[in-house]
């Protein structure tokens, strides 16, 4: 399938809605193993992104992602601001000035975003971060899309995998970010960044429906 500017706008709107609805939840998760700001940070960032989208009205998928990335970089502090900012900036670069994105372009852009996250934060799978969701989900997407399947066809599996990997952060001990300062006390809590990443992939899938 082809993903146009309207699809990416819808994706941002849905992601922002999840972050708003789950602001308290994300904040509670971060209060357990961090400083309790992840929900507030992400909700503020998403609102800044929506504001900037409506004031600048970018026309291509790449411009939309860049606008969101810039808004996140300038409004979300801490670890998540630069990490999510990088995700959107990398995707924007990968999209270039195409009017429409196909499944292969999308998979490549998400892979670039993952490389951006890992380059910046140096986390690996198992460190109890957003990488625990991003890496397996991106690998799954890449493999399936290379084999000729499309995102709509695999969305149910994508969302299920993201949810499973998010929950799999619970028994882990954090080795990166603020949560790592807690050592063994970080065990038994779900990682907030892995949780917001689950909403990211869920939004990517729900935007297909065109609601
Ligand atoms: N090095 C890292 N690599 C990848 N993800 C990371 C890294 N450090 C933190 N994270 C993710 O960021 C989330 C925390 O985001 P949050 O918005 O709460 O930033 P923060 O940790 O409070 O930032 P800071 O500690 O700099 O104030 C974690 O749950 C984790 O998923
Ligand atoms: Mg925090």
pLDDT at 191 over 80: yes
Ligand minimally distant from the alpha carbon of residue 34: 2
| Mutational pocket test of ligand 1: of 19, 80, 82, 114, the residue with most ligand atoms within 8 Å of the beta carbon | 80
The per-residue pLDDT for 210 is 60
Nearest Cα residue to atom 9 of ligand 1:
177
Question: If you classify domain 2-209 with CATH, what class do you get?
Answer: mainly alpha
- Using alpha carbons, list the distances in angstroms from residue 56 to 49, 52, 53, 93, 112: 10, 6, 5, 19, 25
In the chain, where the domains are located: 2-209
**Which tens digit of pLDDT belongs to each residue from 32-50?**
999 999 999 999 999 999 9
Location of structure tokens 């996140």: 72
* Structure tokens given for 208: 């297909």
Which atom of ligand 1 is nearest the CA belonging to 36?
18
**Which tens digit of pLDDT belongs to each residue from 1-21?**
899 999 999 999 999 999 999
pLDDT at 200 over 70: yes
Compute the distance from residue 194 Cα to the ligand 1 centre, in Å. Answer: 10
The per-residue pLDDT for 64 is 98
pLDDT at 211 over 50: no
| Mutational pocket test of ligand 1: of 177, 186, 197, the residue with most ligand atoms within 8 Å of the beta carbon | 177
Whole-model pTM: value is 0.97
22-31 CB contacts, 8 Å cutoff, 24+ apart: 22/195, 22/199, 25/195, 26/192, 26/195, 26/196, 29/189, 29/190, 29/191, 29/192, 29/195, 30/192
**Which tens digit of pLDDT belongs to each residue from 52-72?**
999 999 999 999 999 999 999
The per-residue pLDDT for 80 is 95
The pLDDT > 90 percentage for the chain reads: 97
**201: confidence class by pLDDT, cuts 50, 70, 90:** very high
């Amino acid at each position: 399938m082809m993903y146009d500017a309207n699809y990416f706008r819808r994706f941002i709107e849905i992601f922002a809605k999840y972050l708003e609805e789950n602001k308290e939840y994300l904040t509670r998760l971060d209060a357990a193993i961090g400083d309790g700001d992840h929900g507030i940070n992400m909700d503020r960032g998403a609102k800044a992104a929506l504001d900037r989208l409506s004031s600048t009205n970018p026309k291509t998928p790449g411009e939309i992602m860049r606008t969101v990335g810039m808004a996140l970089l300038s409004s979300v502090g801490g670890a998540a601001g630069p990490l999510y900012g990088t995700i959107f900036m990398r995707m924007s670069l990968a999209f270039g000035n195409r009017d429409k994105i196909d499944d292969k372009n999308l998979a490549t852009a998400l892979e670039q975003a993952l490389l951006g996250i890992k380059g910046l934060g140096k986390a690996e799978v198992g460190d109890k971060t957003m990488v625990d969701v991003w890496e397996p989900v991106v690998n799954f997407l890449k493999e399936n899309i290379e084999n000729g399947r499309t995102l709509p066809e695999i969305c149910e599996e994508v969302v299920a995998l993201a949810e499973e990997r998010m929950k799999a952060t619970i028994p882990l001990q954090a080795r990166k970010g603020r949560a790592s300062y807690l050592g063994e006390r970080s065990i038994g809590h779900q990682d907030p960044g892995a949780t917001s990443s689950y909403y990211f992939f869920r939004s990517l899938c729900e935007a297909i429906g065109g609601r």
